[in-house]
Amino acid sequence: MKIAFDGYRYVGLTAGSVNRKGVRNFIRTQLLCGLRKGSQYNVDFFVSATSKVLDSIGIYFSPEDYLYEQRSYRDIQPAYWYVRSGAALSQPSNKWQKVHYVYTATGNEAYLTIGLFKRIDYTGSLKPDFQDEYLFLLDKVSLTPVNPNEKICAEAEQERWQIYSADDRHQRLDKTISNHLKNPPVPRPKLGLTRTPYVQHIDTLIIPDIYFISASYELSKKSFDLLDSFAHKISGVMDSVIVKGHTDSIGNLQYNQELSQNRAVSVKQYLMTKLPSLGVPFIARGYAFLEPIASNKTSSGRKKNRRVEIYVYRRE
């Protein structure tokens, strides 16, 4: 009995038949959000098969649901064909093998489909996996943005609920497909226009220890120009402002915790006088010496660790 890659579940898809031509299964899903045109996305999953069908598995993005596709799979060109290479070639095909592909979006994607798009039927071993069918197994599929600052769209959870609530099966599903083909619904707006993931930009400023009165949380006068310039640069649409205070390891934890927290609060309060908050949260946090960026064993390292970091998060 096959064990799923992550120990839970996997899906088996028909890749061909001993006795019948053109027998295939495809698995498809609607995307929760649109893809940003020109942006790149990681497509990852694991595959396994007893027969040599893995080199024919394709990944297909489409603006419409593949469930209602009237073209033959033979007329469809996937965005990517999986070809075993490198270390995968030395492994038996029935072992779980990772597929990784970086896809550049056109902005028209609404559905992702995976299956055997090969035009010619598989004619390998006559020993089928189930009844008279050859199968390949699929597990742990994911689609994630390459840009770590791209965040999922606000409508994703609502879309997830609608997808899961569409549970037509067997004869009911056949009837739904038939009705759809006879009376196609009005095309939905492109996901890229209606549910576009947003990109989160992060503006940062590091304030060294020299901008504070020695061993104090009071800002020195020379810090004002620096903060004024930064406030002018970031003024506009913001999601949140987080100020983090840090110290070196001289002294006990409680003392440094209070000093780092108070320095963060001082910077936060100054920025709030320069920036119209408009309901945007300003958050101050003190980390004492728990997050050093250099060694505390040297004076130069301790100097780098005594700092306040400002992070301004805003959407594109």
Exposure string of 64-79, with b = 16+ CB inside 10 Å and e = fewer, is ebbeebeeebeebebb
| More confident of the two residues 101 and 173 | 101
pLDDT-based confidence at 290, cuts 50/70/90?
very high
Mean of the pLDDT values across residues 11-27? Answer: 89
Phi-psi region for residue 174, left (φ > 0), alpha (ψ -120 to 50) or beta?
alpha
Going by C-alpha positions, the residue among 277, 284, 149, 275 that lies closest to residue 207 is 284
What element of type H or E holds 138? Answer: strand 133-145
The label of the residue with tokens 């290479």 reads 85
Mean of the pLDDT values across residues 29-56? Answer: 88
Exposed (0-12), middle (13-18) or buried (19+): which is 10, by Cβ within 10 Å?
Answer: middle
Cα of 203 vs its chain's centroid, Å: 21
Q: What is the pLDDT of residue 165?
A: 82
Quick check: 16 pLDDT over 70? yes
Mean of the pLDDT values across residues 121-145? Answer: 85
Mean of the pLDDT values across residues 204-218? Answer: 91
Q: Would you say the pTM of this structure is higher than 0.75? A: no
pLDDT-based confidence at 51, cuts 50/70/90?
confident
- How far apart, in whole angstroms, are the C-alpha atoms of residue 305 and residue 288? 10
Exposed (0-12), middle (13-18) or buried (19+): which is 9, by Cβ within 10 Å?
Answer: exposed
**DSSP assignment of 190-259:** PHHHHSPPEEEEEEEEEEEGGGB-TTSSSBPTHHHHHHHHHHHHH-S--SEEEEEEE--SSS-HHHHHHH
Q: What is the pLDDT of residue 86?
A: 66
Q: What is the pLDDT of residue 214?
A: 86
- How many distinct helices (H) and strands (E) make up the chain? 6, 13
Q: What is the pLDDT of residue 192?
A: 67
Mean of the pLDDT values across residues 134-152? Answer: 90
pLDDT-based confidence at 305, cuts 50/70/90?
very high
Mean of the pLDDT values across residues 142-148? Answer: 92
| More confident of the two residues 212 and 193 | 212
Please write the tens of the pLDDT for every residue from 216-266: 999 998 899 999 999 888 877 678 899 999 999 999 999 999 999 999 999
pLDDT-based confidence at 52, cuts 50/70/90?
confident
| More confident of the two residues 69 and 55 | 69
- How far apart, in whole angstroms, are the C-alpha atoms of residue 70 and residue 53? 24
Mean of the pLDDT values across residues 42-69? Answer: 88
| More confident of the two residues 267 and 159 | 267
What element of type H or E holds 180? Answer: helix 170-182
Q: Which two tokens stand for residue 270?
A: 């100054």
Going by C-alpha positions, the residue among 228, 258, 41 that lies closest to residue 152 is 41
Radius of gyration from C-alpha coordinates of the chain: 28
CB–CB of 101/31 below 8 Å? no
pLDDT-based confidence at 88, cuts 50/70/90?
low
| Average pLDDT of the chain to the nearest whole number | 86
Pairing of strands 282-286, 240-246: parallel
